[in-house]
Amino acid sequence: MRSLVRNAEAVAHYSGRQPLVKPTLGKGVSLGRYTLEKKVGQGGYGQVWQGFDPSGKQYALKIDTLQLGFNIDCTDNTEFNNFSQVMATGGHSSIINFYGREESSGLSFCVLEYLDRGDLSRIIKKHGGIEPSGLPHLLALKYLRQITNGLGFLHQIGLIHNDIKPDNIMMDENGTLKLIDLGVASSYPIGIHAGTPKYYSPEKAKMSEIDQRSDIFALGITFFMMISGRHPFAGNGDSEERILSNIKNERRPSLQIFSLPKEMRQLLRGMLAPDLGSRINSCDDIIRMIDLAEKSLPNKESGWQKVLGKIFGVADRIMFGLYALVDRAKAVIFRPATL
């Protein structure tokens, strides 16, 4: 077994504190009863590693690496507290399972269910091929239902996820999508904002107080990406700053998705409404609209429908790219269509 502790480093700017030897994380390293296999993610607060216990069962270990090299407690209790609240109420099939928080070699880490079938971004790209045009409508609605059920559970126990996006939705071995990362989830209403700017709601972009409807807007962006393969507020090569500006200025999605049935368009319109009074208010309302949309679709999409959807998807991206060029040139040639 390799030692977790290597390479002592002095920390000069922490005057008066004794530096710790800096742990090195890598394959084969042991953290308590877990053995690390490979790093599968990294964020602002730490790293996520695939690991396994003595029985061979796999887990995702979310390690707080802010502590590395410092004799101070940098542990962020937010995610632990949020997961504890979820599990205390029985958990949910569309939220990643949480098994507790442990400490080893001076490191604190959360032990989570290991999901190995990729995140929603990868799934969208896989279905779309080289020229992504999104998922088949029935499949997109199925996935939206799963995500909405998990999100609705969070809202029922008083939490806003606060960072809904395809990267924070992963698939388990049974094909069920699950919400992950409760690191910035919080009770609502929220006045301090976190998350990913290009998935902000208009009120969040304006630094106003937010509630569960901000999650619903971000879910609307995610659903739009599922069925179109692109972000609703982005043109070709748009930066995150420009996308955020489009959201903040309450610019509606630039073009219709031509092959989208009326019921799905109404669902998107309700989720992406910039005005809070017009936006869908709850996940229960989303589920009811999913029911209507599913009833309006054939049980299986025909070959010509799939081809037509791809043709319209390509045309949509071409037209959106032209619009983005015109918009950058500040030349108002036509008004953007709404959903």
62 is in an annotated binding site: yes
User: What does the alpha-carbon distance between residue 83 and residue 184 come to, in Å, rounded to a whole number?
Assistant: 11
- Write out the binding residues for ATP: 62
- Write out the binding residues: 62
